[in-house]
Amino acid sequence: MKVALVTGGARGIGAAIVKRLAKDGAAVAFTYVSSPDKANDLAATINASGGKALAIKADSADAAAVQGAVEQTVAHFGQLDILVNSAGILGMGSVEDFSLEQFDRMLSVNVRAVFVAVQAAVKHMKEGGRIVTLGSVSGLRVGFPGSSTYSMNKAAVATMVRGFALDLATRGITVNNVQPGPIETDMNGPDQPHVPHVRAMMPVKRLGQPEEVAGMVAYLVSEEAAFVTGASFTIDGGFSA
């Protein structure tokens, strides 16, 4: 049985990834920060259905907490084969008013935490290990005023993934980046006022579903994807076309 760790796995895209990996037969640990009820319910549902899941409270802004989540996963399940960096935060604002505190927190969660998690995880990974990071189409296309910092974060992740792939290629560990476009989550729910505007910009005239992103992640962590590394895969319904 493969063992996976998904950061930010209690809700949205992260939760869909946790469910898909568990469905595919992996034991899955996942981190959460502010949604303990959702995290515990998700773990309980997977365990009750015969799978194996472990919810770990860990703020990705805290490097020691990220490192601890990796160690706790290995201590609980005995190994680590798959790392999915899904934790992330969104901050919007013009360069004229975006605070340095916001800037630093976004970097710590969206970029530094990816580095910390990968560095900690590869100490335990053997040949065939899989690492996937959730970037964003915003790393390719800024799209909206006020998106500069978020877009910079996601472009940095895409570049870092290419470097990680080269560093780890000789060990048989693949590293890839998935770049979702507008996906229907709590942030992009049907009652949100910006959603009709975003939907109108979509060539397919709908938002993506978390399960569609999870499907791409599932492929990248599979045996079939052994020759895929250092790549970014955009799943955005043609938004960036």
Single-letter amino acid code for the residue at 16:
A
* Dihedral angle computed from the Cα positions of residues 168, 71, 177 and 164, in that order, rounded to the nearest 10 degrees: -20
The side-by-side arrangement of strands in the sheet containing 174-180 is 53-57, 27-32, 3-7, 82-85, 130-134, 174-180, 232-235
Q: Active-site residues: which are they?
A: 150
Q: What is the CB neighbour count within 10 angstroms for residue 32? A: 25
Helix (H) or strand (E) holding 6: strand 3-7
Q: Distance between CA 120 and CA 103 in Å, rounded?
A: 24
DSSP state string for 12-49: HHHHHHHHHHHHTT-EEEEEESS-HHHHHHHHHHHHHT
H helices of the chain, in order, are: 12-23, 36-48, 63-77, 100-107, 113-121, 148-168, 195-201, 210-220
